[in-house]
Structure 1
Amino acid sequence: MTDMHSTARPRSNAARICTILGFVFAVVAVFLMPPIFGLVGVVLGIVGAVQGDKPLGWYAAAASVAGAVLGMVLAAVILNA
């Protein structure tokens, strides 16, 4: 018998796909349109976490925020140089 809590959801393929896409959008946000791709990455990371991919989904959301901030700082440095 497994030792799962009654509130724990099994991880689905859709949750894993959302999480992976969240990480992909985090990387894309560094180089291309940071606010848009960063926001999409955050949403996909949260959806992945809610659907059952708990730790990686939240990491993808955090990475998307970091990617968006880094992309905006990088763009500001390049445009002001």
Structure 2
Amino acid sequence: MADMPATARPRSSAARVCTIIAFVFAVIAIFFLPPLFGLVGLILGIVGAVLGDKPLGWWAAAASVAGAVIGIIIAYALLRH
């Protein structure tokens, strides 16, 4: 911990759990209720990043947004007549 910058937080298990759940919600958002699961995944990804899981938390947030967008596009393609 001596070589860690003063502004960096140590990674906690809560941060890792939030990040993993955000990735799971990103996948669920593709198939089921994209706006809801995409938004929750985005929030959990940001929380994970703020709690200390920096790079992976931001990737989870971005994946949740991408999953929501893909899910909305798929739903539109399937439901339009």
**TM above 0.5:** yes
Question: SS of 1:10's equivalent?
Answer: coil
Q: Deviations over 1:32-59 (max 9, x none)?
A: 0000000000000000000000000000
Q: Distance in 2 between matches of 1:77 and 1:65?
A: 18
With normalisation by structure 1, the TM-score equals 0.97
Q: Distance in 1 between matches of 2:60 and 2:4?
A: 24
In structure 2, the residue matched to 1:28 is 28
In structure 1, the residue matched to 2:71 is 71
Return 5+ residue gaps in structure 1 as ranges.
Answer: none
Provide the alpha-carbon RMSD of the alignment.
1.0
> What is the number of equivalent residue pairs in this alignment?
81
Return 5+ residue gaps in structure 2 as ranges.
Answer: none
Deviation at 1:2, TM superposition (A): 2.9
